[in-house]
């Protein structure tokens, strides 16, 4: 397949450039587009054959449902069979933005999109290119992250091209995604609401709407027979670069000392080591390929750079990535969730 790449600027968007990809969505084709979280691989959510092509392009397991994206508030009504009060409050507060609500689905949602579940995830992104594409297509767009299944999600158009060139009809490129981790997925079919996947809308923010809101306890642990995450997608090995990732977490001084010690052992064993550090610590490592995720004072800079940094270590062919850990509050919950999964839960507490 010949993939057409179209570069767009969110700030000064030329809407006419979206016409062709929007038309092609209507015709059942695949279009990659930027969102504020990660790039999405989109198709008409109501067209079962089109949605099947998403699963094929990504190599995605069939039992993992897709999120349906809309461009305006009134587009949610036909897609769901009911909207509880709490969901209305959530959408008024956090849409457009990095929040997906799981609601009972309406019959027009094909089983391919919802993986035969009785519910469906709906999100209204804030990215202007994404919303314009949905609006011009005139249909809701089902879109998982635009990576090959299992790899870190793409936050930059180059990574979409790397994974998906030749497998999709269009790639719309924009600026690097701001948030860098996927949307917060919230089960709104239960009371209190439950976070199935942490993201940019934090539990602290959600508790302002539902004081009893909680995070699915299974998701921060290694999936096993005792801990089965509620969101089908959270059970898979995920966000994994080719190199093995190890997290060292705890007191920062001890973390740095431990990473330096471990690094020397790996280097003595002829391994190429990458260190995922922060602005505050990057000069304190004796050796290895050191990259900073951003400042510890700004967790959004860390989340923004996380996936891209993981993927860039693969370009450098490192054998092992030693990563600092982060406190699990605010966006730190989402960062640690993705980091733990990328490390296959290989985490050392110091
Ligand atoms: O930020 C995002 O959400 C990005 C951008 C493109 O919008 N999309 C994204 O989609 O991350 P995906 O397919 O990579 O992740 C969707 C997650 C999976 O973990 C899936 O299992 C869960 O949402 N999910 C979707 N529908 C669900 C449902 N009805 N019930 C429970 N979990 C659901
Ligand atoms: Mg994904």
CATH node for 244-349: 3.40.50.11030
| Tokens representing residue 176 in the block | 């690097």
Identify the nearest ligand to the CA of 31 by its number. 1
Q: Which of 328, 320, 329 is nearest to 276 (CA)?
A: 320
**Is domain 4-220 classified as CATH 1.10.150.50?**
no
How many A from CA of 58 to the centre of ligand 2? 10
The span from the CA of 247 to the CA of 8, in Å, is 37
Q: Mean pLDDT across the stretch 39-56? A: 98
- pTM higher than the cut 0.85: yes
Identify the nearest ligand to the CA of 41 by its number. 1
pLDDT value of residue 244: 94
Tell me the pLDDT of the chain averaged across its residues. Answer: 95
pLDDT value of residue 237: 67
Query: What is the SS3 assignment for 298?
Result: coil
Q: Mean pLDDT across the stretch 165-184? A: 96
Q: Mean pLDDT across the stretch 149-158? A: 94
The span from the CA of 117 to the CA of 342, in Å, is 27
How many A from CA of 282 to the centre of ligand 1? 34
Kindly list the domain boundaries of the chain, sorted by start residue: 4-220, 244-349
Tell me which residue has its CA closest to atom 33 in ligand 1.
231
- pLDDT tens track for 235-252: 766 777 789 999 999 999
How many A from CA of 36 to the centre of ligand 2? 14
The residue to mutate among 106, 121, 184, having the most atoms of ligand 1 within 8 angstroms of its beta carbon, is: 121
| Percent of the chain whose pLDDT exceeds 70 | 99
pLDDT value of residue 234: 76
Q: Which of 74, 70, 71, 96 is nearest to 83 (CA)?
A: 74
């Amino acid at each position: 397949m010949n993939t057409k790449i179209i570069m767009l600027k969110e700030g000064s968007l030329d809407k006419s450039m979206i016409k062709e990809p929007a038309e092609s969505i209507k015709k059942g084709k695949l279009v990659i587009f930027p969102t504020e979280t990660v790039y999405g691989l989109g198709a008409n959510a109501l067209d079962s054959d089109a949605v099947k092509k998403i699963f094929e392009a990504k190599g995605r397991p069939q039992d993992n449902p897709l999120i349906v994206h809309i461009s305006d508030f009134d587009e949610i009504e036909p897609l769901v069979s009911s909207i509880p009060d709490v969901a209305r409050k959530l959408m008024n507060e956090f849409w457009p933005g990095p929040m997906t609500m799981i609601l009972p689905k309406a019959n027009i949602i094909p089983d391919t999109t919802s993986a035969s579940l009785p519910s469906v995830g709906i999100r209204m992104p804030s990215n202007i290119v994404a919303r314009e594409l949905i609006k011009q297509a005139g249909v809701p767009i089902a879109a998982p992250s635009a990576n090959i299944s299992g790899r870190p999600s793409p936050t930059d158009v180059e990574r979409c091209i790397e994974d998906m060139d030749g497998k999709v009809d269009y790639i719309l490129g924009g600026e690097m995604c701001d948030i860098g981790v996927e949307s917060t997925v919230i089960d709104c079919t239960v009371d209190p609401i439950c976070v199935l996947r942490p993201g940019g809308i934090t539990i602290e923010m959600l508790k302002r709407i539902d004081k009893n809101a909680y995070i699915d306890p299974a998701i921060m642990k290694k999936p096993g027979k005792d801990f089965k995450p509620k969101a089908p997608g959270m059970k898979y090995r995920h966000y994994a670069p080719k190199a093995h990732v190890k997290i060292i977490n705890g007191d920062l001084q001890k973390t740095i000392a431990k990473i330096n010690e471990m690094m020397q052992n790996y280097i003595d064993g002829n391994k190429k080591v990458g260190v995922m550090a922060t602005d505050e610590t990057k000069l304190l490592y004796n050796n290895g390929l050191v990259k900073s995720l951003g400042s510890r004072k700004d967790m959004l800079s860390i989340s923004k750079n996380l996936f891209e940094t993981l993927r860039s270590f693969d370009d450098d062919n490192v054998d092992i990535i030693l990563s600092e850990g982060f406190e699990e509050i605010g966006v730190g919950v989402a960062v640690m969730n993705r980091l733990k999964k990328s490390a296959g839960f290989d985490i050392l507490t110091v």
